[in-house]
Amino acid sequence: MLARPHTLVSSYRRIGAMLERIDPLVLLLLRFWVALAFWRAGVVKFDDPAGTRYLFESTYHVPLMPPDLAASVATWIELVAPWLLLLGVGGRLTAVFLFVYNAVAVVSYPDLWPHGLWAGLLGDDFNDHKVWAIMLMAVIVRGPGALSVDRLLERLLPGLRRRPS
């Protein structure tokens, strides 16, 4: 026997309401996962500055920056920005910054896309970077969520409150 349409609609709405309650946790997990990936990369760069410089001189081809400067900037971005993302400080802005940084990393490392950059976007090349980009896009679109410093500041400082849409 088939369920009545209004029963299906009601069940669908209940499930949607339950899922909306975990939205802050999902956004926190997305922020955590991306932050951890970038922070680990920063720790590796920090632990081996000579190796990092070598990679930026021989393998990574960052546009508009000399290799030594690119190595230092990349190291510090990867050590600081993940904490801002994880904590949800300037959540959307931090996510946009890391999204662009991620894109520059992909463009600067041609070994990630052996079949060409555009083929890599649709194929199996640089999958980690694509996953991080999608997670960052979720934070950009949704904001950092209720479990963030941004939301805490909105509560404490009435002038920062979001206006209803």
pLDDT digits (tens, 9 = 90+) for 64-104: 899 999 999 999 999 999 999 999 999 999 999 999 999 99
* Mean pLDDT value across residues 156-164: 72
- Establish if 11 belongs to a structural domain: no
Q: 56, 67 in Cβ contact below 8 A?
A: yes
Cα separation, 52 vs 74, in Å, equals 10
In this structure, is residue 117 part of a structural domain?
yes
At 97-139, the pLDDT tens digits run 999 999 999 888 877 767 766 666 666 667 899 999 999 999 9
**Does the residue 120 lie in any domain?**
yes
CA dihedral over 33, 35, 41, 43, signed as positive or negative: negative
Token duo for residue 161: 């409150």
Indicate yes or no: pTM above 0.75.
yes
Domain annotation covers residue 2: no
Q: Which amino acid is at 72?
A: S
Note whether residue 83 is domain-resident. yes
Q: How sure is the predictor about 2, in pLDDT bands with cuts at 50, 70 and 90?
A: low
Contacts from 110-113 at CB under 8 Å and sequence distance 24+?
A: 110/61, 111/59
Domain ranges, residue 155? 23-160
Spatial separation of the C-alpha atoms in residues 31 and 33, rounded to whole Å: 6
16 lies in some domain: no
Number of domains in the chain: 1
* 7 inside domain: no
